[in-house]
Amino acid sequence: MSLLEKRVAIVSGAGSGLGRAASLAFAREGALVALLGRRRSKLEETASLILQQTGQETLIIPTDITDERQIDSAVQQAVQQWGAVHVLLNNAAVMEQGTVLELTTEEWQSQVATNLTGPFLLTKAVLPTMRAAKYGRIINITSAHSWNGSGGFAAYSAAQAGLESLTRTLADEEYEYGILVNLYNPGTLRTEMHATGKDPTVVTPDLIRLASLPLGGPTGTIVSYG
């Protein structure tokens, strides 16, 4: 039996990079995948690849993860289609330069909205169905910026640190409901955000493992590639 057989997974930022690679990997392991992202054309490309490689249909849900109404609607669509949500991969992110002195309030808020508030809103939206099922696996993509900081990336680093704290808080709050919440640091990947780095497919086995952790598995941890 595949590791994610009949599990329902929501992946944000599913149109490219790690989100696309993870969506494909989850589908290969039997998951039903809801693809979230701002660009419908990119989501359709991911869905086409999944159909070609696995024969599985997906849900394409164009979603701005900074908009709570769009997020609530996306989760409702997944639940209406498949009855539950078992796995959430908070992958969507933006990484833009700017020191504390340089950043405008709008630039700061924009990055925090995507990198921290978005995962909060998506998690909040899936928790009721996960609690009802007494099962959930939530993976938040992070980076070394969450604990090291990085000069010139003030908003991104601060949001990543916030996401780390949010993950540990959720792990504490949701453990009794069978929900495990962990961080994953893939290192530098070759994506639209980075011209160099590892191919995203090399880290997907780690994501599958976190998405299929057994009852009582680790929670509130940071797992790093390699």
| CATH code of the domain containing 204 | 3.40.50.720
Decide if 135 is catalytic. no
Amino acid present at 1: M
**Is 115 domain-assigned?**
yes
Residues of the chain short of pLDDT 50, as ranges, are none
> What distances in angstroms separate CA 189 from CA 2, 152, 179, one per listed residue?
26, 20, 28
**Is 56 domain-assigned?**
yes
Q: Which of 135, 156, 175, 184 is catalytic?
A: 156
**Is 3 domain-assigned?**
no
pLDDT, one tens digit per residue, over 22-59 is 999 999 999 999 999 999 999 999 999 999 999 999 99
Residue 143: the pLDDT is 86
pLDDT, the chain, mean: 94
Residue 196: the pLDDT is 67
Q: Please list the residues that pair with 183 across neighbouring strands.
A: 140, 222
**Is 219 domain-assigned?**
yes
Domain housing 168: 8-224
> What distances in angstroms separate CA 164 from CA 39, 154, 160, 171, 211, one per listed residue?
27, 16, 6, 11, 18
Number of domains in the chain: 1
Residue 190: the pLDDT is 73
Query: How many beta carbons lie within 10 A of that of residue 172, not counting itself?
Result: 12
**Is 153 domain-assigned?**
yes
